[in-house]
Amino acid sequence: MTEILLEVKNLVKHYPSVKAVNGIDIALPAGICFGLLGPNGAGKTTTIEILEGIVAATSGDILYKSDVPGDRFRKEAGIMFQSTALQDYITVRETLQMFARFYPKNANIDELVKRCNLTEYLDQDNRALSGGQRQRLLLAIALVNDPDIIFLDEPTTGLDPQARRNFWDLINDIKADGKTIILTTHYMDEAYTLCDEIAIMDHGRIIAHGTPKELLAAHFNDVVLQLPATAVEGFDMSSLNAHSRDDHIEITTCDVNQVIASLIKSNVSLAQLQIRSRTLDDLFLELTGKELRM
């Protein structure tokens, strides 16, 4: 049986004006990447900050390696916040050295620098780092103590697509070492690519939980046909399960042949027709009624 590294029971966090976390349960096996998804205000950052020991819960239990998180947890956890300032006038090397000295156990700093692609910036002032370099340094800081559990709170927000892909490679690399990762993200493709398990949060509750494939299979058995909105202008779509999304029309169906036949019969141009499987974006929309990237 897989060891449960982190267990959360009926976690609640109430602020005077809002119930940020409203009774959630998580059992996190060692060695997986767990994704916590949700729109802004869903309670995922509050949840992750409670797990990190930054925010106190109103009620509920958290067990790390079957024990209440304490000094051991702080030594064995690696944390990358959504936004963290670094000290001015200090170089990348000095920043890593400082954090390394906070912990009794350290990762090999040279290997960490190479892995996070920081070699050529080692003597650069923190102030001079680009967004991607900065995120890689923050990840390196989170890994400096060779942690057993790593919290990554929206680690790729604000990065350009290439930097985001590079960051995914890094996280996959860490996963390959058998580390346990808790990741929050706004990006469904990121969750799908990186996470072994995901939980979707809304209004402080977990509304769906499982592997991405399990969740998709449980909620959908259809596919989506996409056409530009201009291609169906003037055509009666009432007999199809169609709705508009951005600048195109999406038709969901379990019988692709029948829909295509119907479109051909109506003389709709299929030149730009695309057929895709259901994604986590669709699942999210289905469950919360909200677009994810807000």
Partner 1 sequence: MVFTRFLALLNTRNKEFLRDRSSLGWNILMPVLIVAGFSFAFSGDIGKQFKVGVINQNLASSVSQKFMQLKHIEFYQVDDFERAVSKVERHQVDMLLDAEKQQYWINTESPSGYLVEKVLLGVDNSGFHKQSVSGKQIRYIDWVIPGILSMNMMFSALFGVGFVIVRYRKNGMLKRLKATPISAFEYLSAQIVSRMILIMLVTAFVFYATNYFVGFVMNGSYASLFLVFALGALSMISLGLVIAARITSEEAAGGLLNLFSWPMMFFSGVWFSLEGAAPLMQAIAEVFPLTHVTAAARAIMIDGAGLIDVGYHITVLLSQSIVFLLFGSWYFRWD
Q: Which residues form the interface with partner 1 (CB under 8 A)?
A: 52-54, 71, 74-75, 77, 79, 81, 83-90, 94-95, 97-99, 101-103, 141
Q: At what angle do helices 280-288 and 212-219 cross, to 10 degrees?
A: 60
Q: Which is nearer to partner 1, 83 or 162 (CB)?
A: 83
Q: Which is nearer to partner 1, 21 or 206 (CB)?
A: 21
- Give the shortest CB-149-to-partner 1 separation in angstroms: 12
Q: Which is nearer to partner 1, 52 or 190 (CB)?
A: 52
Q: State the CB neighbour count (10 A cutoff) for residue 192.
A: 16
User: Token digits for 180?
Assistant: 């346990």
Per DSSP, helices labelled H in 101-234 are 109-115, 131-143, 161-176, 188-194, 212-219
Nearest to 168, CA basis, from 141, 139, 208, 209: 139
- Residues 13, 46 contacting (CB under 8 angstroms): yes
- Give the shortest CB-156-to-partner 1 separation in angstroms: 18
Q: How many residues does the chain have?
A: 294
Q: Which is nearer to partner 1, 56 or 271 (CB)?
A: 56
Task: Give the residue carrying structure tokens 């999304």.
Answer: 245
- Give the shortest CB-120-to-partner 1 separation in angstroms: 21
- Give the shortest CB-138-to-partner 1 separation in angstroms: 9
Distance CA 94, CA 97 (A): 5
Q: Which is nearer to partner 1, 100 or 256 (CB)?
A: 100
Query: Going along 46-105, which residue ranges are E strands?
Result: 59-64, 77-80
Q: Which is nearer to partner 1, 101 or 243 (CB)?
A: 101
- Give the shortest CB-261-to-partner 1 separation in angstroms: 57
SS3 208: strand
Q: State the CB neighbour count (10 A cutoff) for residue 78.
A: 23
- Residues 210, 220 contacting (CB under 8 angstroms): no
- Give the shortest CB-196-to-partner 1 separation in angstroms: 24
